[in-house]
Structure 1
Amino acid sequence: MSNQRAEGRKLAILAADGFEQIELTSPKEAIEAAGGETKIVSIEKGFIHANKHREHGDSFHVDMSLEEAKADDFDALLIPGGLFSPDALRTNDRAKDFVSKFFEQKKPVFAICHGPQVLISANLVDGREVTGFPAIQQDLRNAGGKVKDQSVVVDGGLVTSRSPDDLGDFNAKIVEEICEGKHARQLESVTA
């Protein structure tokens, strides 16, 4: 892991029921180990339930609802994958608006596995280099993304990854990018 320090950096983790547990916990631990802070944001307050592949996972306390959360209060955003969480988020207008604000504010956004589906529905993929779980790579292409089949793809503050197998590379990039701060390229996909 990197020696970079993320003190004073705050990561929003946007998830709903049915997220892939390791895709939330592993990056969360990486940011916290580097000195950063994390908050779980979801559609409603209470608890959200994880999956461990096809099995039920643990429950996680939601720190704030989308109604309460503001992109202004965070330095970066993480969208874990899983089969059900991205589906719930991509059809939620507040979730899409929350994600879009990070791009408008030129802040790093991290999405893994099926997480990039939220970016597709928020119209944030067109012209960007991305990756995702193999089953959604064609969806990313259809949305105008330039898909690369790599463990992690970085495009001006947008960091995407394929699956839990790639978490080592993904976590290292998350820490690096949150330490770097804002990226001018993030805004291009919103204003283009």
Structure 2
Amino acid sequence: MASQEITPADRIRELNDISSGIAEMLRHMGQAISALAPNPDEGGESMAARKATFDEHSKAAYTGVQAFQAKMRRQAYALEEAGIIAAEAPVIRVKSNQPQAQGAAAGRGGPAAAGAQVVEAERVTNGGLGNLDVGWLNSRGNKVAVEMESELLQEARELLQAELERKQTSEPAG
């Protein structure tokens, strides 16, 4: 049986479904949390009714989380199969060409005797940035927000100025 090819449009639809599933999951979480506190506006539901509501919505939220994990895992596998992301973080191996101390290299075989020492391999994390969190850095800079604010203020001034000029020319002199 031939496998059906999944198009980029299908992937986008799947991501859209995941997004709407998140909204539904958050709705259930909110309903579960609100069931924990008595609400005097609703006539004071009984404790048993609130527990039942909490159980219903928390189970639905948990099911939503499980579905989200499965769908995101499928998306990650698809990206790996397409060669867009690596299945595992690449490993960097560093070789040192510095000769070992004469006593250590004498009489022993292996790489040390050949003059090259293999240093412990390191996994590449965060695209080679290590523990540096680019998101954290970006959240600290507000240059874009300041520039956007000044552009919006300038645009508002221009609109107000145009409106004032339009009103002044449309009013009869007198």
**TM-score when normalising by structure 2:** 0.21
Where relative contact order (Cα < 8 A, 6+ residues apart) is larger, the structure is 1
Q: More strand by proportion, 1 or 2? A: 1
Larger radius of gyration: 2
Q: More helix by proportion, 1 or 2? A: 2
